[in-house]
Amino acid sequence: MHTDANQTDADQTEKAGAQRNVPTENQVSENGSIRRPELENAFTAFQSGDPVLVHDFADREGETDIVYPAAAVGPSAVARLRNDAGGLICVAVPDRVADAFELPFLSTELDHPTTDDHPSYDDRSAFSLPVNHRDTYTGITDRDRTRTIVELAEAALSADNDPSYDTGEFAAEFRSPGHVHILRGAPGLLTDRAGHTELGLALAEAAELPPAVVVCEMLDDDTGEALSPSDARSYADRHNLVYLEGEMVVEALSPE
């Protein structure tokens, strides 16, 4: 598996995590379901700018993603995603924000026979356009990707709060193709789809944070496959990070 990156923000996470992981009583969510302590700890982590590990479902991707609130990402967080996760670093935004940006689903824009079908575990890929912020250079360095990610979070918040925000403003800030892939959430989030895109966005919404999250799959160097849930949980334990199962998120945060 990936070797843990030695990073300043990881040390800070360990200190904060020691307090976050103290068990608390179950709480009742708005839809009447019971929120387990791990979920409340995840909200606290997000509000502190720390990542949460989320495993979706064994019969879906069967992968664990490191998920950050996008506005809190810095170069050391991007380095952690590269070194400790190893998957594709993406920014997920809700459907309403993607509409304001006028971002399509990528598969609908490509006139090519490779887009004729979808992954076996899903009805549609969430991928939209890959972008760079216009003030980046190549767009791939940790600092460049940080700039793109943080500015996407700011743009998402602006689009959410300002009905006059339009694609011209988005295009003035970002260019495509780029090195940060945007994922478009399903319109009803967890009601319509339960991928990492929707799981992460639902966590951000419940934590009352800007509508943008970073997701990156955790891979295993030894097997060449996705990191197993047990190994992902062990990573979370070593770094005092919150680990969640997607089923828990869906049960607690899906509307009635």
Q: Active-site residue among 38, 65, 84, 245? A: 65
pLDDT category at 145 given cuts 50, 70, 90 is very high
Secondary structure class of 227 (helix, strand, coil): coil
**Where is mean pLDDT largest: 147-161, 179-193, 237-251?**
147-161
Is the separation of the CB atoms in 53 and 64 below 8 Å? yes
pLDDT value at residue 62: 82
Q: Active-site residue among 173, 179, 231, 251? A: 179
CATH number at residue 57: 3.90.870.10
Give residue 200's identity as a one-letter amino acid code.
Answer: G
Catalytic residue check, 65: yes
249 inside domain: yes
The per-residue pLDDT for range 179-201, each reduced to its tens digit, is 999 999 888 766 777 788 999 99
Catalytic residue check, 31: no
Q: Edge-to-edge strand order for the sheet containing 213-217?
A: 127-133, 174-184, 90-93, 213-217, 64-69, 52-55, 242-245
Mean local confidence (pLDDT), 105-131? 69
Q: Of 8-17, 76-85, 223-232, 243-252, which range is least confident?
A: 8-17
Q: Active-site residue among 9, 38, 55, 132? A: 132
Query: Is residue 86 scored above 70 in pLDDT?
Result: yes
Catalytic residue check, 217: yes
| Number of structural domains found in the chain | 1
2 inside domain: no
Q: Identify each DSSP E strand in 61-126 by its residue range.
A: 64-69, 90-93
Catalytic residue check, 179: yes
93 inside domain: yes
209 inside domain: yes
The per-residue pLDDT for range 23-75, each reduced to its tens digit, is 344 554 554 444 578 899 999 999 999 999 999 876 667 899 999 999 999 99
Supply the range of the domain harboring residue 241: 8-111+121-253
1 inside domain: no
Which residues are CB-contacts of 163 (< 8 A; sequence separation ≥ 6)?
none
237 inside domain: yes
116 inside domain: no
Query: Is residue 164 scored above 70 in pLDDT?
Result: yes
**Residues shown for the chain:** 256
pLDDT value at residue 119: 61
- Does the pTM surpass 0.85? The reply is no
DSSP collapsed to 3 states, 149-210: HHHHHHHHHHHHHCCCCCHHHHHHHEEEEEEEEEEECCCCHHHCCCCHHHHHHHHHHHCCCC
Between residues 174 and 112, which one has the greater pLDDT? Answer: 174
